[in-house]
Amino acid sequence: MESAITKLVDVFKNYSGKDKKLGKKEFRKLIETELNHFITNADNKRAVDELMGKIDKNKDVKITFDEYFILVTLLATTKYNQM
């Protein structure tokens, strides 16, 4: 589990900017590269923008680590419920 948590943090750090947030471009790249088999329409910019809008709680068009973890939680819950 430790390696999974480290990987989640590293992925966020690798894609986030100096402000430690993901803008639209960074978020799209993360989804397309890291989650392309996990998220339907990962290559569809509009779908990814809609997903970003759903997890961007403060609506600043930037994803913080806390907001990113909302996505991780949703994906983990979906995967668990499919088992």
Model confidence at 70, in pLDDT bands (50, 70, 90)? very high
Q: Supply the DSSP string of the chain, one letter for each residue.
A: -HHHHHHHHHHHHHHS-TTS-B-HHHHHHHHHHHSTTTSTTTT-HHHHHHHHHHH-TT-SS-B-HHHHHHHHHHHHHHHHHH-
pLDDT digits (tens, 9 = 90+) for 3-17: 999 999 999 999 999
Domains, the chain: 2-82 (1.10.238.10)
For residues 39-58, average pLDDT = 93
Average pLDDT over residues 54-62: 96
Q: Is the pLDDT of residue 40 over 90?
A: no
